[in-house]
Amino acid sequence: MKKIKKILISQPEPSSEKSPYFDIAKDFGVELVFRPFIKVEGLSPKEFRQQKIGLLDFTAVVFTSRHAIDNYFTLAKEMRITIPEDMKYFCVTETIALYIQKYVQYRKRKVFFGNTGKLDSLIPTMVKHKNEKYLVPLSSVHNGDVKELLDSKKLIHTECVMYRTVSNDFTEEEAAQFDCNMLVFFSPSGIKSFTKNFPSFEQNDVRIATFGPATAKAVTDAGYRLDLEAPTKEHPSMTSALRYYLENNK
């Protein structure tokens, strides 16, 4: 196989210069192209109203991502709704909790966060506030796990869709200049978008890496060869797995 010279990472470019991706580019002399295959699109007020959910009917909001925060406050603004000062916010990580400062004044007595990135770590705190009425903004693509978990704790909650994941299509010019010899995917949606944008793609020497079992399955289901799969016990992150792969495939 040809030497890897240009890798497409299907995520936005890291904002920090200390990202391990930039160390990889420097250490192995490879060019990294950050280009998401998918993007998040918020629902319009008209679409949201079809769910017959009133933002002011709740005393707390559960945020699982920054997308959820952006679309919650954007919808409120577009619908001319003023979110009460005493609204409580429950976030799956501290990073997401701090992101709320973009829209409201951050006060510890009304912002709570977990420490694992999963809803499970928030549950003990939510149970302490069991009289709250929780709103949980979600993507259009979700399963019933959140509802089942909150039901099991007898919490008062309502899930709603506030945003959707759509294909981030390539322009004709972008498609024509596509010359990466390694592709890194992070979601089945990304694979679906790639096959839509490059229907006649032949893999040949192009290496494909994935993060997560669902993404790996989407690659093989699409008929492609999977060259690198993460996470593993030895390599819990994509950057760790990618570094190991490049060291052993020079």
Strand partners, 137: 160
On average, the pLDDT of the chain sits at: 92
41-165 matches 6-37+170-248 in CATH topology: yes
Residue 93 three-state SS: coil
Alpha-carbon distance of 64 to 11, in angstroms, equals 18
Tokens of 160: 């709603």
Outline where 42-141 has alpha helix (H): 45-49, 66-78, 94-99, 123-128
Q: 29: phi > 0 → left, psi -120 to 50 → alpha, else beta; which?
A: left
41-165: what fold? Rossmann fold (3.40.50)
What is the per-residue pLDDT for 39?
87
Strand partners, 185: 210
Tokens of 135: 């709103």
Render pLDDT for 131-174 as a digit per residue (tens, 0 to 9).
Answer: 999 999 998 877 888 999 999 999 999 999 999 988 888 887 77
pTM over 0.85: no
Q: What are phi and psi of 168, to 5 degrees?
A: -100, 85
The CATH architecture annotation of domain 6-37+170-248 reads 3-Layer(aba) Sandwich (3.40)
Alpha-carbon distance of 33 to 188, in angstroms, equals 20
Q: Which own/partner pairs from 218-226 qualify as long-range (CB within 8 Å, at least 24 positions apart)?
A: 218/185, 218/188, 218/191, 218/192, 219/185, 219/191, 222/191, 222/195
CA angle 162, 44, 155 (to 5 degrees): 25
What is the per-residue pLDDT for 38?
86
pLDDT < 70: residue spans in the chain: none
Break the chain into its structural domains and give their ranges.
6-37+170-248, 41-165
Alpha-carbon distance of 135 to 156, in angstroms, equals 9
